[in-house]
């Protein structure tokens, strides 16, 4: 049997399942679970994984020390007596904030609907618990209504999901990263328990009362700059200065069976299989269980994937330039649809597509096969790893209903375990490790990213034409370079004498490309540097055209899409400003993987509020005069965005030219070395 066949025989899927279940043991909350950043439960789980790595025979097993902000949620219990003196006791979930009552304390509780600025009109919520309904997938993230409540003097928010997450049951609790300050507390309450409170609110309203009373016993602790550990083990290779990285995170909300116990267990299951068959890799295989993926940084928009960021930027900054690829795993024991996916950086998409042609179909797991998706997203650790200079991929996990139903709730358990899917992923990524290990050079196809940039550029003027011309040259050169690499990797061409140097130069150029071209919008979506200004410019032009026709509502719809100005519609200015400034004006260590990824911002708060007031008027002369002034302001903003766009095009053209020079140098080194 070849190595692939031997590995398939050696994989023990039941052992992986058992390890995933065993990881549920350590917990900070004895009822709900939680194994969160820097907590005692996370540390205990890290020790468990360290011993497991040693047991299966990995070498150089160690704890890599990192720094993060820690969160330990021990309990959240509410007691409420209804009109019939019946006591209702609710288990609450929690968010990463500081709140402890030292036993049961009595609080007034107020219902504030969606928790927007308008919902507080006529209410005094000082020292109260406020019940807020939200849909974080369809509307806004939790930090906005929570901070709005904080500014109004509320003691804490009770957040009930009315959709978007935890849809599996009316008893579901939810947890997400808070993306806000620790002193604005928040807890999660189920729809079923919130319904009990809402019934009492209705009765209180009939009596002319604004609040009801309940008792709460909570312990939620946040500590800045704490020690945590990523757990690492290896299978040493013949060329130890080159590596393949496998990663998954071991912190979790609730029991975390799918997210991400099963992923850590699968990673170690692949490792155990390789050790069992005696595989001696060409390059060292590194298995890294990472802490602090779900959350790990107070008061940051980019408060997740902290453990991965710290690993490759602080603990082991020597890894970029040595690691040919990172395979990151998330929720691999559940089928998210009929078709599976590998989500990859642009540059490795071609290699993965070719690799998948060699993988037998598995009709039981994924009857429609496996596709390659680009680019990577910010939802998991592979983004932090990629921008460090390590080409990364993750099993695509965001498709299908699981994210809306079970994800980040107490219903993330083995009930949705699919053994066929789990087995398929063990085999698929085990084969992929072997395929990567057999390569001489990183399978870098830079043409993919230049092709994607070309598709994003509008053909409007001379600057665009110049950029498109450079992109065409870069795309052709990237394709030519990949043909050279591919021939060498397939044994059709002579391996260059300076293979190691070319290996490092390809990864170095990949890192430069990440720095040059990877940006984020205000919704954390990945885009190219010029795209934000280009989209804003389009929205401003449409908004101005709408106002010129007196269509105020249509103009506001356009402004809603610009940067983070959707939040200007519903929350007071102090809230909007806070969550704008903490992106633009915080130090890099608080922004981590988001630092420098948002370049421009257009603050439309005053304009939005004035137009919303204007929307209420009825064709008066005052309204027409106001619209004239608003059109002028829109034109000014449009001019600023146009300037940003021109600057971005110049920057893009310069960056593409740098990439062209880099690719030419590598191409010539390959030719000379052969």
pLDDT digits (tens, 9 = 90+) for 336-364: 888 999 999 999 999 999 999 999 889 99
Nearest to 392 by CA among 492, 296, 511: 511
For residues 100 and 112, membership in a common domain is answered with: yes
Q: Which SS3 state, helix, strand or coil, does residue 185 take?
A: coil
Q: List the beta bridge partners of residue 91.
A: 77
Same domain, 65 and 82: no
Q: Three-state SS for 300?
A: coil
Residue 214: inside a domain: yes
Tell me the average pLDDT across 129-139. 94
Q: Are residues 26 and 94 in the same domain?
A: no
Instruction: List Cβ neighbours of 619 (8 Å cut-off, separation of 6 or more).
Output: none
- Domain range holding 628? 526-649
What are the b/e assignments for 301-331, b being 16+ CB within 10 Å?
bbbbbbbbbbbbbebbeebbbbbbbbbbbbb
Question: In 3D, which of 448, 377, 374 has the Cα closest to residue 593?
Answer: 377
CB 660 within 8 A of CB 475: no
Q: How many domains does the chain have?
A: 3
- 10/21 Cα distance (integer angstroms): 21
Q: Is the model more confident about 618 or about 537?
A: 537
Distance (Å, whole) CA 595 – CA 430 = 34
Residue 321 CA to residue 299 CA, distance in Å, equals: 32
With cut-offs at 50, 70 and 90, classify the pLDDT of residue 649.
Answer: very high
Here the CATH number for the domain that contains residue 388 is 3.40.630.10
**Helix/strand number for the chain, H first, E second:** 20, 17
Position 626 pLDDT exceeds 80: no
Is 408 inside any structural domain?
yes
In the predicted structure, residue 398 carries a pLDDT above the cut 90: no
Strands 323-328 and 99-100: unpaired
Question: Where is the domain boundary, 223, 248, 267?
Answer: 223
C-alpha 458: how far from chain center: 29
Looking at residue 57, what DSSP letter applies?
A: T
* Contact criterion met (CB below 8 Å) for 97 and 303: no
pLDDT given for residue 83 in this prediction: 87
CATH of the domain at 118: 3.50.30.30
Please answer whether residues 178 and 96 qualify as being in contact, where contact means their C-beta atoms are separated by less than 8 angstroms.
yes
Q: What is the mean pLDDT of residues 321-345?
A: 94
Is 125 within the bounds of a domain?
A: yes
Question: Which of 197, 223, 249 is at the close of a domain?
Answer: 223
Q: Which of 146, 179, 201, 413 is nearest to 299 (CA)?
A: 179
Listing DSSP states for 303-330 in one string gives -SSHHHHHIIIII-TTSTTTEEEEEE--
pLDDT for position 175: 95
Q: Does residue 282 share a domain with residue 252?
A: yes
Rounded to whole angstroms, how far apart are CA atoms 106 and 61? 49
Count CB atoms within 10 A of the CB of residue 54: 12
**Inside any domain, residue 251:** yes
Q: What is the pLDDT at residue 623?
A: 55
Residue 630 lies in a domain: yes
Q: Does residue 662 fall inside a structural domain? A: no
Q: Residue 233 belongs to what H/E stretch? A: strand 212-235
Structure tokens at 140: 């806004």
Q: Would you state the pLDDT for residue 49?
A: 98
> Would you call the peptide bond into 216 cis, given omega within 30 degrees of 0 as the criterion?
no
- Give me the pLDDT at residue 46, please: 98
Give me the percent of the chain exceeding a pLDDT of 70.
98
Compute CA 540 distance to the chain's CA centroid, rounded to the nearest angstrom. 29
**pLDDT of amino acid 625:** 63
Helix (H) / strand (E) element for 309: namely helix 306-310
pLDDT band at 203 (very low <50, low <70, confident <90, very high): confident
What the block records as the tokens of 432 is: 């992929």
Q: What is the pLDDT of residue 459?
A: 74
Task: Say if 659 falls within a structural domain.
Answer: no
Residue 235 phi/psi, 5-degree rounding, is: -115, 105
**pTM, 2 dp:** 0.95
Residue 314 to residue 121: CA distance in whole angstroms: 47
Give tens-digit pLDDT for 494-517.
Answer: 888 899 999 999 999 999 999 999
pLDDT digits (tens, 9 = 90+) for 564-594: 999 999 999 999 999 999 999 999 999 999 9
What is the predicted pLDDT for the residue at 630?
87
> Last residue of some domain: 409, 437, 465?
437
- Of 168, 365, 175, 383, nearest to 259 (Cα)? 175
Could you give the CA distance from residue 649 to residue 637 in angstroms, rounded to a whole number?
18
In this predicted structure, the answer to whether residue 544 has a pLDDT above a threshold of 60 is yes
Only one residue has tokens 């690691």, namely 323
Same domain? For 123 and 35 the reply is: no
pLDDT of 467 reads 96
Which residue would you say has higher pLDDT here, 205 or 242? 242
**Are residues 231 and 366 located together in one domain of the fold?**
yes
**C-beta of residue 310 within 8 angstroms of C-beta of residue 53:** no
Answer yes or no: do 423 and 304 share one domain: yes
Q: Which band of pLDDT confidence, cut at 50, 70 and 90, is reported for residue 672?
A: confident
Domain assignment present for residue 615? The answer is yes
Q: Say whether both 261 and 129 belong to one domain.
A: no
pLDDT tens across 411-449, in order?
999 988 999 999 999 999 999 999 999 999 999 999 999
600 and 639 in a single domain? The answer is: yes
- Kindly report the average pLDDT of the chain as a whole number: 94
90 pLDDT band, cuts 50/70/90, is very high
Residues of 589-621 as b/e, b for ≥16 C-beta within 10 angstroms? ebbbbbbebbbbbbbbbebbebbeebeeeeeee
Give yes or no: residues 186 and 240 share one domain.
no
Q: Residue 508: which residues within 8 A CB-CB, separation 6 or more?
A: 321, 389
Do 100 and 56 lie in a common domain?
no
Gap between the Cα atoms of 64 and 231, Å rounded: 6
Long-range CB contacts (within 8 A, 24+) of 512-518: 512/658, 512/659, 512/662, 513/347, 513/446, 513/449, 513/659, 514/386, 514/387, 514/389, 515/387, 516/655, 516/658, 516/659, 517/449, 517/453, 517/652, 517/655, 518/386, 518/387, 518/597
- Identify whether residues 244 and 214 lie together within a single domain: no
Identify the residue with better confidence: 618 or 491. 491
**Cα separation, 624 vs 630, whole angstroms:** 10
Least confident range of 151-165, 276-290, 625-639: 625-639
pLDDT above 90: residue 208: no
């Amino acid at each position: 049997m070849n190595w692939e066949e031997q590995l398939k025989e050696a994989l023990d899927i039941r052992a992986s399942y058992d390890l995933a279940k065993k990881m549920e043991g350590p917990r900070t909350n004895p009822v709900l679970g939680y194994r969160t950043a820097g907590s005692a439960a996370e540390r205990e789980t890290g020790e468990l994984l360290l011993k497991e790595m040693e047991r299966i025979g990995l070498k150089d097993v160690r704890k890599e020390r990192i720094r993060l902000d820690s969160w330990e949620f021990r309990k959240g219990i509410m007691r409420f007596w209804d009109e019939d003196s019946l006591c209702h006791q609710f288990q609450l979930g929690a968010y990463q904030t500081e709140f402890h009552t030292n036993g049961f304390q009595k609080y007034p509780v107020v219902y504030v609907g969606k928790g927007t600025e308008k919902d507080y009109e006529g209410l005094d919520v000082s020292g109260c618990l406020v019940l807020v309904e939200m849909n974080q997938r369809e509307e806004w993230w939790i930090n906005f209504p929570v901070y709005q409540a904080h500014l109004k003097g509320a003691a804490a928010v009770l957040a009930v999901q009315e959709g978007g997450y935890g849809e599996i049951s009316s008893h579901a609790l939810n947890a997400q990263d808070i993306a806000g300050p620790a002193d604005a507390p928040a807890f999660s309450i189920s729809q079923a328990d919130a319904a009990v409170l809402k019934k009492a609110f209705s009765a209180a309203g009939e009596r002319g009362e604004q609040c009801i009373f309940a008792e709460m016993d909570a312990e939620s602790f946040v500590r800045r700059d704490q020690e945590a550990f990523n757990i690492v083990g290896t299978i040493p290779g013949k060329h130890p200065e080159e590596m393949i990285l496998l990663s998954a995170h071991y912190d979790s909300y609730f029991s975390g069976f799918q997210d991400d116990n099963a992923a850590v267990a699968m990673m170690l299951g692949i490792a155990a299989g390789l050790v069992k068959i005696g595989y001696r890799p060409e390059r060292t295989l590194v298995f890294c269980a990472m802490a602090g993926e779900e959350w790990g940084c107070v008061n940051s928009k980019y408060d997740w994937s902290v453990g991965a960021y710290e690993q490759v930027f602080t603990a082991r900054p020597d890894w970029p330039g040595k690691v040919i690829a990172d395979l990151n795993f998330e929720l691999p024991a559940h089928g998210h649809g009929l078709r599976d996916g590998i989500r990859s950086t642009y540059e490795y998409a071609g290699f993965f597509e070719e690799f998948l042609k060699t993988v037998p179909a598995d009709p039981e797991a994924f009857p429609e096969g496996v596709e390659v998706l680009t680019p990577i997203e910010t939802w998991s650790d592979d983004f932090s790893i990629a921008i460090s200079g390590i080409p990364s991929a993750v099993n695509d996990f965001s498709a299908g209903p699981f994210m809306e139903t079970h994800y980040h709730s107490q219903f993330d358990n083995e009930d949705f375990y699919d053994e066929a899917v789990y087995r398929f992923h063990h085999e698929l990524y085990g084969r992929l490790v072997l395929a990567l290990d057999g390569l001489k050079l990183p399978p870098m196809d830079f043409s993919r990213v230049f092709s994607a940039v070309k598709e994003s550029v509008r053909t409007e003027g001379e600057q665009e034409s110049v950029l498109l011309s450079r992109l065409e040259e870069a795309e052709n050169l990237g394709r030519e370079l990949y043909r050279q690499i591919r021939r060498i990797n397939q044994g059709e061409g002579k391996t260059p004498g300076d293979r190691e140097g070319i290996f490092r130069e390809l990864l170095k150029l990949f890192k430069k490309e990440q720095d040059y071209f990877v940006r984020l919008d205000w919704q954390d979506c990945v885009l190219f540097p010029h795209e934000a200004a280009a989209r804003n410019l389009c929205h401003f032009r449409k908004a101005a055209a709408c106002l010129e026709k007196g269509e105020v509502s249509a103009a506001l719809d356009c402004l809603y899409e610009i940067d983070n100005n959707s939040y200007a519609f519903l929350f007071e200015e102090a809230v909007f400003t806070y969550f704008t400034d903490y992106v633009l004006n915080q130090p890099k260590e608080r922004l981590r993987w988001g630092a420098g990824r948002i370049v421009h911002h257009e603050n439309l708060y005053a304009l939005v509020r004035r137009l919303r007031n204007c929307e209420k008027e009825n064709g008066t002369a005052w309204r027409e005069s106001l619209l004239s002034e608003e059109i002028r302001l829109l034109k000014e903003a449009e001019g600023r965005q146009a300037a940003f766009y021109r600057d971005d095009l110049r920057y893009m053209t310069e960056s593409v030219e740098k990439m062209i020079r880099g690719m030419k140098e590598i191409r010539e080194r390959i030719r000379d070395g052969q």
